[in-house]
Amino acid sequence: MTKELNGLRINYICEGEGELVLLLHGWGANIDLFADTIALLSQKYRVLALDLPGHGQSQEPPEAWDVDAYVDFVLDFLKDYEFDSITLLGHSFGGRVIIKLCARALPFTVEKVILVDSAGVKPEKTALRRAKEGVYSAVKHVVSKDKMEKVFPHLMESMRRRNGSADYNAASPVMRETLVKVVNEDLCDLMPCVKCPALLIWGTADTATPLSDGQTMEKLMPESALVTFEGAGHFSFLEQPQRFLRVIASFMNIS
**Res 138: pLDDT:** 46
Give domain status of residue 179, yes or no.
no
Give domain status of residue 113, yes or no.
yes
Euclidean distance between CA atoms 211 and 232, whole angstroms: 11
**Res 125: pLDDT:** 56
Give domain status of residue 197, yes or no.
yes
Per the structure, how many domains does the chain have?
2
**Res 141: pLDDT:** 52
Based on C-alpha coordinates, what's the Rg of the chain? 19
Please indicate, yes or no, whether residues 148 and 26 belong to a single structural domain of this protein. Answer: no
Instruction: Kindly report the pTM of this predicted structure.
Output: 0.85
Amino acid identity of 120? G
Please indicate, yes or no, whether residues 9 and 114 belong to a single structural domain of this protein. Answer: yes
**Tell me: the pLDDT tens digits for 48-90?**
999 999 999 999 999 999 999 999 999 999 999 999 999 999 9
Closest by CA to 200, choosing from 222, 231, 183, is: 222
Grouping H, G, I as helix, E, B as strand and the rest as coil, residue 2 is strand
Please indicate, yes or no, whether residues 53 and 157 belong to a single structural domain of this protein. Answer: no
Please indicate, yes or no, whether residues 141 and 115 belong to a single structural domain of this protein. Answer: no
Give domain status of residue 167, yes or no.
yes
Q: How many CA atoms lie within 13 A of 129 on its CB side?
A: 6
Give domain status of residue 43, yes or no.
yes
Please indicate, yes or no, whether residues 169 and 196 belong to a single structural domain of this protein. Answer: no
**Tell me: the pLDDT tens digits for 199-211?**
999 999 999 999 9
pLDDT at 153 over 80: no
Please indicate, yes or no, whether residues 233 and 197 belong to a single structural domain of this protein. Answer: yes
Please indicate, yes or no, whether residues 137 and 222 belong to a single structural domain of this protein. Answer: no
Please indicate, yes or no, whether residues 160 and 221 belong to a single structural domain of this protein. Answer: no
Euclidean distance between CA atoms 133 and 105, whole angstroms: 38
**Res 33: pLDDT:** 97
Closest by CA to 49, choosing from 62, 36, 61, is: 36
> Which neighbouring-strand residues pair with 24?
50, 90
Q: Which domain holds residue 159?
A: 127-174
The more confidently predicted of residues 144 and 54 is 54
Give domain status of residue 84, yes or no.
yes
Please indicate, yes or no, whether residues 202 and 152 belong to a single structural domain of this protein. Answer: no
Euclidean distance between CA atoms 40 and 195, whole angstroms: 25
Q: What is the mean pLDDT of residues 19-46?
A: 98
Query: Residues 98, 90: contact at Cβ < 8 Å?
Result: yes
Residue 13: CB atoms within 10 A of its CB come to 17
Give domain status of residue 180, yes or no.
no
Euclidean distance between CA atoms 117 and 46, whole angstroms: 24
